[in-house]
Amino acid sequence: MLDKSTSCSLVGPLVRRGYRVAVMDYNLCPDVTLEKLMKEFSGFISWIFDYAELTNVLEVTFAGHSAGAHLLAQILHSQEAMSPQRSKKVWALVFMCGIYDLRELYNLESVNPKNILSLNQQSAGTLSPMLWEYTDVAIWSSTKMYVVAAEHDSTTFIEQSRRFAELLKKNGFRASFKVFSKYDHFDIIEETANDESEVSKFLRNIRMD
């Protein structure tokens, strides 16, 4: 659901402080399969790095919420989109309220109505970041990774975030896990539009962490 025009809540507070922000738009399922959508995201990653090189950007931070966090996990797994030179530019990765094991959710009508993601048990496993092998850990040695959950999200979402953070740390990434109190799955991203909200301050302070 939705598109970039309704997913720009975090732009204002960051732009007002001198950051450049790009928000990805992508095709929606079932017009495309989830696998095709993930390939679109790899193309977006490449576009960002091409733009960074063209405009002499020295540092990049990526953040993804919900399905966006699932897509963002590809940056650690896709050898096509990444290289040691590119990863050195990535200051931080922020995974917010993401889905990391599709096997637990793909057959739930509330998450995947009428199977619009075109998944089965096998493809749900193949496309789950919790099951991927992460072989290029060394190129991410300077990148901080934040896996974030919302207190009032579902238990499944919170536990998936916790387990994903543990998986990243186990593999050697500089990852941490944080639960934001009072927020739920939706207002944690909506509140990024508020300069003084806890989550907005968190995103701005990553640079100083």
Q: Describe the strand order of the beta sheet including 144-150 as a list of residue ranges.
A: 60-65, 90-96, 144-150, 174-180
List the one residue out of 147, 144, 153, 205 whose CA is nearest residue 181.
Answer: 153
Q: Classify residue 22: in a domain, yes or no.
A: no
Contact 151, 183 (CB under 8 A): yes
Q: Is the pLDDT of residue 4 over 80?
A: no
The pTM of the full predicted model, rounded to 2 decimals, is 0.93
pLDDT in tens, 6-50: 778 889 999 999 999 998 888 888 888 888 888 888 888 999 999
pLDDT at residue 2, rounded to an integer: 66
Sign of CA dihedral 79, 82, 75, 35: negative
Q: Classify residue 28: in a domain, yes or no.
A: no
Higher pLDDT: 76 or 1? It is 76
Q: Classify residue 84: in a domain, yes or no.
A: yes
Higher pLDDT: 41 or 151? It is 151
**Is 66 part of the annotated catalytic residue set?**
yes
Q: Classify residue 79: in a domain, yes or no.
A: yes
Q: Is the pLDDT of residue 56 over 70?
A: yes
Average pLDDT of the segment spanning 80-109: 90
| Mean pLDDT taken over the chain | 90
Q: For residue 61, which phi and psi values (nearest 5 degrees)? A: -120, 135
Q: Classify residue 135: in a domain, yes or no.
A: yes
Strands 90-96 and 60-65: parallel
Query: How many separate domains does the chain show?
Result: 1
DSSP string, 158-181: HHHHHHHHHHHHHTT-EEEEEEES
Cα end-to-end distance, the chain, whole Å: 33
* Domain containing residue 85: 35-100+128-140+161-181
pLDDT in tens, 154-197: 999 999 999 999 999 999 999 999 999 999 999 999 999 999 99
DSSP H helices in the chain: 11-15, 34-54, 67-72, 84-87, 121-126, 155-170, 187-190, 198-205
Choose the catalytic residue: 153, 161, 197, 200. Answer: 153
Q: How far apart are CA 8 and CA 190, in angstroms?
A: 9
Q: Classify residue 17: in a domain, yes or no.
A: no
**Is 152 part of the annotated catalytic residue set?**
no
Q: For residue 114, which phi and psi values (nearest 5 degrees)? A: 55, 25
Choose the catalytic residue: 65, 66, 101, 197. Answer: 66
Q: How many CA atoms lie within 13 A of 170 on its CB side?
A: 9
Q: Classify residue 86: in a domain, yes or no.
A: yes
Q: Classify residue 209: in a domain, yes or no.
A: no
What is the CB neighbour count within 10 angstroms for residue 155?
Answer: 7
**Is 50 part of the annotated catalytic residue set?**
no
pLDDT in tens, 109-139: 877 888 888 888 898 899 999 999 998 899 9
